[in-house]
Chains A and B, each alone.
Chain A
């Protein structure tokens, strides 16, 4: 069973540009969450999607957005990049057929974004 796949693995962008990151969840998983990890702030929750609907959103500016497709694949977009957006962006998927059940989250290896 393939794991969570994130592309690209590494990315270098210039300030002011925009970027799109992709996440393919484990087959059958309908929930996808995104996290930003930096040395100073640690792992911070960005947003969560379930069946193409954004279910939760973290405390990030509107420059950060995402979406989920009918096949559960997800993308996140960051517009007008700033130096502080340099981070490891992680995607996690879980089955979550029932929100009341606690299910294991599987993380991808992340996309390392460097803004110069």
Chain B
């Protein structure tokens, strides 16, 4: 199972762009990179998934370099409601394995 490493916590002011980087040095060829968001006492919610280069949806962007050993989740213009824990996962032919995640606190 590929292991991921991401910062434990981050703080940001409202309206700023937030970038959360995740390291996954042992990613396998067939693995995808997926990010989930979790609010307190709720289940995680899918944000974005990618394999290489850049993926963008209405919520976030995901940047993956050519070697795929890391990825960066970019949240544009965060608001207070983006305060949550963000998990980076490397998905292959195995169950989802969650690390500790990054606790993002957005400050007014």
Chain A min CB distance to B27 (Å): 13
Known: A108-B43, A109-B42. A102 touches B97 (CB 8 A): no
Question: CB distance A45 to B49 under 8 Å?
Answer: no
| Highest count of chain A CB atoms <10 Å: which of B30, B43, B44 | B43
Residues of A within 8 A of B100 (CB): 42
Question: Quick one: closest B residue to A31, CB to CB?
Answer: B95
B43 A42 Cβ-Cβ under 8 A: no
User: Interface on chain A toward B: helix, strand, loop, or mixed SS?
Assistant: strand
Can you list, as one digit per residue, whether each of B81-108 has a CB less than 8 Å from chain A (1) or not (0)?
A: 0000001000111111111110000000
Task: State the interface size on chain A (CB cutoff 8 A).
Answer: 25
A36 to chain B, nearest CB (A): 11
Q: For the complex, is B46 an interface residue (Cβ under 8 Å from A)?
A: yes
| Residue B45 at the chain A interface, CB threshold 8 Å | yes
If A43-B44, A107-B43 are given as contacts, then 5 extra A-B residue pairs at C-beta distance below 8 Å, sorted by A number, are A58-B95, A90-B43, A105-B44, A105-B96, A107-B42
